[in-house]
Structure 1
Amino acid sequence: MAESIWISLVSNLVRRISRHYVAACAGTIAAIGMVFAGAFAAAASPLYCVLVPHFKDEYWLSVGFGLEQEAERQGVDLLFFEAGGYEARAAQVGQLDACVAQGADAILIGAVTSDHPDLMTAIARVAETVPVFGLVNELHAEALSGRIGVDWQDMGHAIGAHLRQLHPEGSPAKSAVFLTGPAESGWTGPLAAGLRDGLAGSSVSILEVFEADTGIRPQLALAELALERHPDVDYLIGSAPAIEAAIGLLAARRDADRPTLLATYVSHTVIRSLMNGSVLAASFDDPILQAQMAIRQVAAVRAAPDQRLAPEVVLLTREDDDLGAVRISPADYFPAVQ
């Protein structure tokens, strides 16, 4: 019965992602991982090369959907590469050179690391001939022609400040565990710093931080480990895949003392769970809008390297009555893989 509950709570899209990556393990992800139809068409349209860490969770699917939408409006062709995960630094370095070889007019990079010398050197080399723009993830490369993405410290702060409101200093002590991405990624450090800053002055303490790639399976393993080590924890704060995993795991628990869930970004499952009360709150940075802003920024070619374009971070809660209007990629959206 527990397994059937788990399957019913995982979106069809999540299952498709899982099947895709199981199959991909037998092939190659390090080369061109994803190409949208028509990207190789011999047209006069500008060609933008897009590098992402992976499409293992719905966040990057929303980014891809927004890029595709805006590129069509702007008359731009897109060529997508995925590294395969946040440990695939060498793959992303090679993909930068592949973009140049394909004649890209600009490169948008969702970096797998914010400051590793290998990636910084590659960006500096490529930027001599093709403008490079940072996409979503923090990237400390001086050669960038622009940046698009929220400050992930704000994403963490929104969650922490919400808990501080609920549990101000002097109220009964509460505990939390934090499930997040790998340390080498550019967003996890700011996210954690923002969360702790938001919790300052509250009665909530973080018992342990768990880190892994943001694919479904690694985050499921984190959720299992966190709940095993801290069965009586009050709050579980985590990435969207971690929250999806926790929902399924907790559905099989019969005890009434389950941790309350908060997500550091959204997915279809997180939004549905906000609506039904399974998730208390989630940070939202509108990845579709960020993607659209990215295409516009490159098309305009007018942003200074130190300028960050980004929408406002907002906190979604289960009390919100307009959760159905939150924009993420359609539930049936998944790009074709070549």
Structure 2
Amino acid sequence: MTAIATIPTIMASAPIAERIWISRVSNLVRRIVRHYGAIWVGSILATGLCVAFWSAATAGPRPLVCVLVPHFKDEYWLSVGYGLEQQAERLELDLLLYEAGGYRARSRQIRQIDTCIEQGVDAILIGAVTSDHPDLIASIEQAARKTPVIGLVNELHADTLSGRIGVDWQDMGQAVGHHLTKLHPDGSPRKTAIFISGPSEAGWTGPLETGLRNGLSGSEVTILEVFGADTGLSQQLAQVEAALERYPDADYLIGSAPAIEAAIGVLVNSDDPEPPQLISTYISHTVMRGLMNGRVLAAPFDDPAMQGDMALNQVVSVLASGKPAGLVGPDIVLLTRSDPTLTDIQISPAEYFPSIQ
């Protein structure tokens, strides 16, 4: 592992390179304050100080970070990858990006962990394909004996993690449920919804559904059925078609970003005079366009690009201090077409695709 020198004290006479890094940290903090307020800026600033002197305090080759994600078939993960690659350039880190191929590719993700260790990486960021399968947990525990392993976005029940970046997906579902409860409180006319989510193996699907149902308590909205599949577009399209065929009169279709993308395509060619309104459970490029043009009613935003930034900041902090970090993540904001901040939301550029192994 790369040797880390002691972090120097901030002084007015600091070298130019250090002052530039301090400026970058200040810009980062200001950006965080704009988007999320000051509630956890103190902890971010502490991490930022490690980031500020990272370049000056490391010697030898650039640190190498292995990043494992379920897949890039979902545009959400493109924004995570964009945040990672942009921050890696700023921090002078090298990345090895691997995609497992889907949420049922557990064996492949385990092999990728082994590959990362064989390459002698300084840290591993893992967007786990499952939150608690014993085989994956055992692989993570073995890897963590040699290098820090940090959870990325997806829930992961491993005691040996050195940190985790993400939000509580129960809160994501609850944001959607609360929005619908405001629209259809107790005593108003009854409404129905179909819910299309990811596969049961994924760590976020269970908490998401729990949060959604909790948020709907006190409303007149009833979930007719839950459909689930891997979050590739073709798999989600099949679920959308099945759900609409079974429940053609549903008032709402609540779904993953690929499900909403598929539903937009299906409904634009439909002759249904009263198609279901669409609500996404997270953000993507297609969902953003849908919010702007009115085809999507609402979506919770957990800033996947910022999570990529924050993940590498946590890597730097863990490597510099030698101490594990806790859970860090952005606030969740429910976006609608009328939201004045909608045009300020950062996602990856339309032409972006990460450099994967």
TM-score under structure 1 normalisation?
0.86
1:318, distance to aligned residue in structure 2 (A): 1.3
Q: Is the 8 A contact 1:147 1:305 kept in 2?
A: no
Aligned to 1:332: 351
Aligned to 1:209: 226
1:186 to 203, 215, 219: 203
Quote the Cα distance in structure 2 between the aligned partners of 1:337 and 1:182. 24
Q: SS of 2:331's equivalent?
A: coil
Change (3 A) 1:305 1:188: farther
Q: Is the 8 A contact 2:98 2:356 kept in 1?
A: no
Superposition pairs of residues 32-181 of structure 1, within 5 angstroms: 44-181=61-198
List per-residue Cα deviations over 1:302-327 (Å, max 9, x = no partner): 59657210000010001113322111
Q: Is the 8 A contact 1:261 1:280 kept in 2?
A: yes
1:337, distance to aligned residue in structure 2 (A): 5.0
Kindly indicate whether residue 270 of structure 2 is the aligned counterpart of residue 253 of structure 1: yes
Q: SS of 2:249's equivalent?
A: coil
Kindly tell me the number of residue pairs found equivalent between the two proteins.
296
Which sections of structure 2, spanning at least 5 residues, go unmatched? Answer: 1-59
1:159, distance to aligned residue in structure 2 (A): 0.4
Q: Is the 8 A contact 2:172 2:211 kept in 1?
A: yes
Q: Is the 8 A contact 1:145 1:303 kept in 2?
A: no
2:337 to 295, 300, 318: 318
Q: Is the 8 A contact 2:154 2:204 kept in 1?
A: yes
Q: SS of 1:335's equivalent?
A: coil
List per-residue Cα deviations over 1:23-51 (Å, max 9, x = no partner): xxxxxxxxxxxxxxxxxxxx700000000
Quote the Cα distance in structure 2 between the aligned partners of 1:160 and 1:264. 10
Aligned to 2:25: none
1:160, distance to aligned residue in structure 2 (A): 0.3
Change (3 A) 1:337 1:77: closer
Quote the Cα distance in structure 1 between the aligned partners of 2:356 and 2:127. 19
Quote the Cα distance in structure 2 between the aligned partners of 1:82 and 1:132. 16
Q: Is the 8 A contact 2:83 2:309 kept in 1?
A: yes
1:282 to 291, 299, 313: 299
List per-residue Cα deviations over 1:5-33 (Å, max 9, x = no partner): xxxxxxxxxxxxxxxxxxxxxxxxxxxxx
Letter in 1 for 2:347: I
Letter in 2 for 1:171: S
1:257, distance to aligned residue in structure 2 (A): 1.1
Larger Rg: 2
1:91, distance to aligned residue in structure 2 (A): 0.4
1:330, distance to aligned residue in structure 2 (A): 0.4
Aligned to 2:313: 296
Quote the Cα distance in structure 1 between the aligned partners of 2:323 and 2:179. 34
Quote the Cα distance in structure 2 between the aligned partners of 1:334 and 1:115. 29
Aligned to 2:215: 198
Q: SS of 2:124's equivalent?
A: strand
1:178, distance to aligned residue in structure 2 (A): 0.5
Q: Which moved more, 1:249-258 or 1:183-192?
A: 249-258
1:336, distance to aligned residue in structure 2 (A): 3.9
List per-residue Cα deviations over 1:93-112 (Å, max 9, x = no partner): 11111001011000000000
Aligned to 2:37: none
Quote the Cα distance in structure 1 between the aligned partners of 2:189 and 2:132. 40
Quote the Cα distance in structure 2 between the aligned partners of 1:194 and 1:255. 30
Quote the Cα distance in structure 1 between the aligned partners of 2:123 and 2:354. 21
Q: Is the 8 A contact 1:163 1:204 kept in 2?
A: yes
1:329, distance to aligned residue in structure 2 (A): 0.5
Q: SS of 1:221's equivalent?
A: helix
Runs of 4+ in structure 1 over 6 Å off: none
Root-mean-square deviation (CA, aligned residues, Å) is: 1.2
Q: Is the 8 A contact 2:97 2:355 kept in 1?
A: no
2:327 to 308, 322, 327: 308
1:243 to 260, 271, 290: 260
Which sections of structure 1, spanning at least 5 residues, go unmatched? Answer: 1-42
